[in-house]
Amino acid sequence: MYRNFRIVPNIIFGRGAFNQLDDVIKHKRTSSESYFVFVVDDAFTGQPLESRIPLKGRDLLLRVNVDDEPKTTYIDALVKQIRTYHFEKPVGVVGIGGGSTMDIAKAVSLMLNNPGSSADYQGWDLIKFPAVYHVAVPTLAGTGAEISRTAILTGPEKKLGINSDFTLYDQILLDPDLIAGVPKEQWFYTGMDCYIHDVESLQGTFINEFSRAYGEKSLDLCRQVFLQDHPDRDDKLMMASYFGGMSIAYSQVGACHALSYGLSYVLGIHHGIGCCIAFDYLDEIYPEGVAEFRQMMARHDISLPRNLTKGLDQAAMEKMVTTALGLVPLWQNCLGPDWADIMTRERTMELYTRM
Amino acid sequence: MYRNFRIVPNIIFGRGAFNQLDDVIKHKRTSSESYFVFVVDDAFTGQPLESRIPLKGRDLLLRVNVDDEPKTTYIDALVKQIRTYHFEKPVGVVGIGGGSTMDIAKAVSLMLNNPGSSADYQGWDLIKFPAVYHVAVPTLAGTGAEISRTAILTGPEKKLGINSDFTLYDQILLDPDLIAGVPKEQWFYTGMDCYIHDVESLQGTFINEFSRAYGEKSLDLCRQVFLQDHPDRDDKLMMASYFGGMSIAYSQVGACHALSYGLSYVLGIHHGIGCCIAFDYLDEIYPEGVAEFRQMMARHDISLPRNLTKGLDQAAMEKMVTTALGLVPLWQNCLGPDWADIMTRERTMELYTRM
Query: Can you tell me the ipTM of this complex?
Result: 0.95
**Is the CB of residue B40 less than 8 Å from the CB of residue B62?**
yes
CATH 3.40.50.1970 domain span(s) along chain A? 10-179
Q: Do B20 and A1 touch (CB under 8 A)?
A: yes
Q: Is the dihedral of CA A246, B242, A233, A302 positive or negative?
A: positive
pLDDT digits (tens, 9 = 90+) for A341-353: 999 999 999 999 9
pLDDT at A248: 95
Residues 6+ apart with CB under 8 A from A262: A319, A320, A321, A323, A324, A352
C-beta atoms of A217 and B216 within 8 A: yes
Query: How far, in Å, CA of B120 to CA of B127, rounded?
Result: 9
The pLDDT value recorded for residue B345 is 98
pLDDT confidence band for A160 (50 / 70 / 90): confident
Q: Contacts of residue A214 in chain B, CB cutoff 8 Å?
A: 217
Grouping H, G, I as helix, E, B as strand and the rest as coil, residue B215 is: helix
CATH tag, B184-354: 1.20.1090.10
Per-residue pLDDT at A158 exceeds 90: no
Partnered with residue A173 across adjacent β-strands are: A12
Contact present, A206 and A253 (Cβ < 8 Å): no
* Yes or no, beta carbons of B235 and A2 under 8 Å apart: no
Looking at the whole model, is its pTM more than 0.90? yes
Let me know: does B116 contact B152? Beta carbons within 8 Å: no
Do A241 and A143 meet the contact criterion of CB atoms below 8 Å apart?
A: yes
Mark yes or no for CB contact A24/B3 under 8 Å.
no
Which residues make Cβ contacts (< 8 Å) with residue A27, sequence separation at least 6? none
Residues of A in Cβ contact (< 8 Å) with B6: 9-10
Q: What is the pLDDT of residue A19?
A: 98
A50 pLDDT exceeds 90?
yes
Chain B residues in contact with A13 by the CB 8 A cut-off are 2, 5, 208-210, 250
Pick from A14, A208, A217: CB nearest B213: A217
Considering only CB atoms, B236 lies closest to which of A24, A209, A238, namely A209
Query: Could you tell me which chain A residue has the CA closest to the CA of B14?
Result: A2
Tally C-beta pairs within 8 A across A and B: 99
Residue among A6, A9, A232 whose CB faces B209 most closely: A232
Angle, helices A233-249/B209-226, rounded to nearest 10 degrees: 60
In Å, how far is A27's CA from the nearest CA of chain B? 13
Q: Searching chain B, which residue's CA lies closest to the CA of residue A237?
A: B209
Q: What percent of chain A shows pLDDT beyond 90?
A: 97
Measured between CB atoms, which of B4, B8, B213 is closest to A24? Answer: B4
Cα-based distances in Å from B117 to B72, B101, B108, B150, B158 = 7, 19, 11, 16, 14
Q: How far apart are CA B116 and CA B124, in angstroms?
A: 17
Nearest CA in chain B to A242: B210
Start and end residues for every CATH 1.20.1090.10 domain found in chain B = 184-354
List of chain A residues whose C-beta atoms are within 8 Å of the C-beta of residue B24: 4
Bridge partners, residue A12, by sequence:
A173
Instruction: Answer yes or no: do B6 and A9 touch at CB < 8 A.
Output: yes
Query: What is the three-class DSSP state of B241?
Result: helix
Instruction: Give me the CATH code for the B10-179 domain, please.
Output: 3.40.50.1970
Please judge whether A4 and B12 are an interchain contact, meaning their C-beta atoms are less than 8 angstroms apart.
Answer: yes
pLDDT of residue B313: 96
**Reported confidence tier of residue A37, pLDDT bands at 50, 70, 90:** very high
Among chain A residues, CA nearest to B239: A210
- Judge: A7–B11 Cβ closer than 8 Å, yes or no: yes
Mean pLDDT over each residue of chain A, to the nearest integer: 96
Give the CA-trace dihedral at A193, A199, A202, A206, to 10 degrees: -70
CA distance B228 to A161: 41
B217–chain A nearest CA distance, Å: 6
d(CA A95, CA A105): 5
Q: Mean pLDDT of successive 10-residue segments in chain B (355 residues)?
A: 95 97 97 96 97 97 95 98 97 97 98 98 96 98 96 89 97 97 95 98 97 98 97 97 96 96 94 97 98 98 95 96 95 98 98 97
